[in-house]
A and B are shown apart, each in its own frame.
Chain A
């Protein structure tokens, strides 16, 4: 299934909502860079267990994650890229 990567905050860009349009059950969402600001306002059709975020980007921004989302490091990111297919970047 698809790995969706989003790097912009929902306040700046439509990338996350655009991604949600193409999100299918079994897909994974990974939030990186300013994409992690979306952790407090994720689209409803994306299940909690599908949501991953880069811990380094969350820590850097002082964001408190209250839900059971999965915080990952770069190594796990690479693993996800190998394990999911295709990988789609929603960077704008």
Chain B
């Protein structure tokens, strides 16, 4: 039985490199069929917002990369419900084609079920 790995995504997409680096780590692992589970929490939920036009700040779109996750074998994402509510967001603003989103009401219990947690 392989270890269960959680990628905890807590940073907004463009303010620093962490969101992108996390995503690249996830894609690398997924390309080796070791896809971690992704939980978006706190400002990390901003990574999922639709209609990101990152070209206007000369960056690559984090959202576009996330849309590729299903091709990398990840067809479900987890999002902290409280983090969404606190930012006045709803699931409709995050929906990704081909990928299900499950809201997590108790992130503490959710996190505790994993063998390893990578924080990004």
Instruction: Please list the residues of chain A having a beta carbon within 8 angstroms of any beta carbon in chain B.
Output: 1-2, 14, 18, 21-24, 27, 85-92
Contact = CB atoms under 8 A, between A and B. Distances in A.
A24 B42 contact: no
Interface of B: 6, 8, 10-11, 16, 18, 41-42, 80, 82, 107-109, 111-112, 114-117, 119
Nearest to B114: A86
B42 A2 contact: no
Contacts of B108: 2, 21-24, 27
A7 to B, nearest CB: 11
Contacts, number: 48
Contacts of B107: 21-22
Contacts of B10: 18, 92
Nearest to B16: A92
A18, A85, A87, most chain B CB atoms within 10 A: A18
B11, B42, B109, most chain A CB atoms within 10 A: B42
B6 to A, nearest CB: 7
B115 A86 contact: yes
13 contacts: A18-B41, A21-B41, A21-B80, A21-B108, A22-B111, A23-B108, A86-B112, A86-B116, A88-B117, A89-B117, A91-B119, A92-B11, A92-B119
